Amino acid sequence: MEGGSTNTGAETLEIQPPNQIFILSGQSNMAGRGGVVKDHHHNRWVWDKIVPPECVPDSSILRLSADLRWEEAREPLHVDIDTGKVCGVGPGMAFANAVKNRLGTDSGVIGLVPCASGGTAIKEWERGSHLYETMVKRTEESRKCGGEIKAVLWYQGESDVLDIHDAESYGTNMDRLIKNLRHDLNLPSLPIIQVAIASGGGYIDKVREAQLGLKLSNVVCVDAKGLPLKPDNLHLTTEAQVQLGRSLAQAYLSNFC
């Protein structure tokens, strides 16, 4: 994939393709629901369009759009990916800005590849499924520009807490997912930064135990427990997403740089 361009209205600017690429995957808290509120007048969900300073756009942070084009990244990152629900602020922009600020000029251009889909259980991410194969396709397409896949950021599991079988098999399914993804991308040491879920009720403790106890090389876990939740007690607030993005960046910088 070659560098694209962005039309500002007055001129067309060439986009330098990313040299560092991060895959954002999982379910709604990765896709982002920060700032999504109910418009009671029109009886619909809307994003409040409040972008924290930690999530502002930067010319050296790009996203891969649904039609596989690099463009300047801005919230909501998953707007054309997780199209079944209204998307808001997720952890991706806060992560990318934190990495860029820490590495400075060494970070070059960061590319984010949104792949998350709200309400999905881990069994829906099995090899051969639409979600899995789309994630692989988007990842493969992203590195045609010559960039390196640096890590997968994974936040999922709230949909696996209601059934005891799903919760107890979560660790095995996650282990298989990581191994399949590494094999299919031909990246046997691909770093995975997963999030231990903060909400969901049911058998959440079993899912968290699996996430925190996963024993694979180059897999680290960031714990979201204690981060502020929206009134639905399921989705992270905008503030929480910023905190999570920073924590994911710290995990990446501490373990893989």
CB atoms within 10 A of CB 117: 25
Closest CA to 167 of 118, 223, 122, 220: 122
Q: Which of 42, 165, 189, 232 is catalytic?
A: 232
How far, in Å, CA of 87 to CA of 175, rounded?
28
Q: In whole angstroms, what is the distance from residue 90 CA to residue 75 CA?
A: 8
Catalytic residue among 28, 60, 117, 142: 28
* Closest by CA position to 139, among listed 93, 85, 180: 180
Distance of alpha carbon 77 from the chain centroid: 9
Query: Catalytic: 232?
Result: yes
Return phi, psi of residue 31, to 5°: -60, -30
Where in the sequence numbering do the catalytic residues fall? 28, 232, 235
